[in-house]
Structure 1
Amino acid sequence: MAITAALVKELRETTGAGMMDCKKALSETDGNIDAAVDWLRTKGLAAAAKKAGRIAAEGLVAVAVNGTAGAVAELNSETDFVSRNEDFQKFVAEIANLAVGVNGDIDALKATAFPDTSRNVEEQVTHMIAKIGENMNLRRSAGISVEKGLVASYIHSAIAPNLGKIGVLVALESEADAAVLEGLGKQIAMHIAATNPASATVDDLDPELVEREKAVLTEQAKESGRPAEIIEKMIEGRIRKYYEQVVLVEQTFVIDGESKVKAVIEAAAKDAGKPITLKGFIRFELGEGIEKEEKDFAAEVAEQLKK
């Protein structure tokens, strides 16, 4: 029997298995959907569909750098235990490497062929769900690059090389010596991991954030009952303080606790004899923004006793 795209699609929707796995199952069972489902079940591949509804907020963040380009990716799992699985670690690391080639574009990454398999990255995730036995989600990826200079990386709470809970990339554009840029970039990346700035520069800061902060500060200043010109100066001063809290180059460098980050970059450029420009950064923290399911253990036990 001819294996049509419609049959493969139907089997995928029924089982949640990968496209190539579905195609093989249909070939093995002469196009019989029910038999193909059973075939996938015996291989442990149909189980991925049942796992897909479970919340995945653990896992790993991975970074990969190739000279002037870098990427960071987050692959989530249900439990922290899986992040210690060597196959899972290798899988996340390979995803980050592939992400560099597509500048971190998540859709392009999912469609990229996964090495040494007949599957793409998205299908390989489904394959890994069945293999490891937990739901997984390739949640996001991002890339950054420079024309000259380098992209430096840092992993906080590393569980293996380039794998951990927080991943940071810093793009420095310069003709300065690579060793100088690497050392500076890593220190800035460590700072970013610690402070989680909202933007690299004041110009990059989301205008909505600034307006929201100004609105709050204006109301606070008005309550002081002072003249309008004094209130205006108060707001200006407080906005500067706000920038020092959320803008990377305006923050106090955590490494020395004294200099502003922009002054550290300027000093490094002076020592290197070449201009150094911070082009941007990426910071991924594992599970940020995911609403984890809160379980009532007592209610869960009670529910089990009813069965």
Structure 2
Amino acid sequence: MVSIDQIKELRERTGISMTVCKKALEEVGGDMNAAIDLLRKKGEAKAVERGDRDAGEGRVAIAGTDQKKAMILLACETDFVARSEECAKAAQGFAERVLVEGVDVDLSGEVADMGIQLGEKIEIKGKVIFEGPMIGAYIHSNNKIGVLVNLSGGSAEQGKDVAMHTAATKPDCVSPDQMDADLVEHEKGIWREQLVAEGKPAEIMDKIMMGKERKFCEDGALISQPFVKNPDQTVGQYLGDVVVNDFVLFQV
């Protein structure tokens, strides 16, 4: 017996209707690859091939309030579709569905229908919900970069400012102590080779390495970066007692 999950998977991979997918799977005893081959033989190749194409364009959409927001990244194949009214409306609708129904909401049917209607591969590449005292948000003017920041408090203006800063600088983490250890070790290996090549004495190399590591972590951490609207202060100084709990950045 063919399961609903198998039908959904075939629909997502091909963009073909649920009914046709169900019949194809039933004919081949539930074998996914055989079902795809069967659909090709029956003249559904155009829709099947769409599943193999790259959805490298798209747009970000955000829905919600200052205390709860959802963000999604809706991907498509062309900038023409990404900028269309249909895509904008669909992306906003999907964000609102995620906000109400949660990140596990199944949107595969609607996404597949959209792909059939527009003739492109459509997929949701990211979805997230933030809840807290202050959720800041920012979408760049081209709708290709979106940010949510989760703050312990503060104003809506601060939330938007920090989200905008995050979109501009794309930090690796919130604070320097959160920098990925493997990334730091990789950089240290490069710095060490550079210092040896420069002929730096061994007795001062460790001190230089410590300084480089500190600067690397500070440069990549959100709260220690110079604030884009006022580089004379860091983001942390701009926020004062307000804590950045987390952030998420989606980019097409």
- The TM-score, its normalising length taken from structure 2, stands at 0.80
**Alignment match, 1:172:** 151
Which residue among 214, 223, 234 is the counterpart of 1:249?
A: 223
Aligned length: 235
One of 196, 207, 220 as aligned partner of 1:233: 207
Larger radius of gyration: 1
Q: Counterpart of 1:277?
A: 243
Q: Do the aligned partners of 2:147 and 2:166 also contact (CA within 8 Å) in 1?
A: yes
Offset at residue 218 of structure 1 (A): 2.0
Secondary structure of 2:155's aligned partner = helix
Is the Cα contact below 8 Å between 2:15 and 2:116 reproduced in 1? no
Structure 2 residues without counterparts, runs of 5 or longer:
24-38
Tell me whether 1:53 sits opposite 2:37 in the alignment: no
Aligned to 2:227, what secondary structure does the other structure show? Answer: coil
**How far apart are 1:5 and its partner, in Å?**
4.4
Q: Report what 2:129 is aligned to.
A: 143
- 1:128 maps to 2:102: no
Give the 3 Å change call, closer, same or farther, for CA 70–205 of structure 1 in structure 2: farther
TM-score (norm: length of structure 1): 0.67
SS at match of 2:90: helix
Indicate whether 1:76 and 2:75 are aligned.
yes
Aligned-partner residue type, residue 221 of structure 2? V
Name the amino acid aligned to 1:130: I
* CA displacement, residues 192-234 of structure 1 (integer Å, 9 cap, x when unaligned): 1111111111222211111111221222223343333411111
Q: Deviations over 1:254-300 (max 9, x none)?
A: 1012111111111xx4xxxxxx21101111111xxxxxxxxxxxxxx
Q: 1:172 deviation in Å?
A: 0.6
Looking at structure 2, the residues matched to 193 and 211 of structure 1 have their Cα atoms a distance apart, in angstroms, of 26
Question: Offset of 1:166 from its aligned partner?
Answer: 0.3
Consecutive unaligned residues of structure 1, counting only runs of 5 or more, are 25-36, 112-120, 159-163, 175-179, 270-275, 287-307
Distance 1:151 1:11 in 2: 34
Residue identity matched to 2:138 = Y
State the alpha-carbon separation in 1 of the partners of residues 188 and 82 from structure 2. Answer: 42
- Which of 162, 169, 188 is residue 162 of structure 2 equivalent to? 188
Give, in angstroms, the shift of residue 247 of structure 1.
1.0
Across the aligned residues of Structure 1 and Structure 2, the Cα RMSD in angstroms comes to 3.2
Counterpart contact for 1:251–1:260, Cα < 8 Å: yes
Identity of aligned residues (%): 33
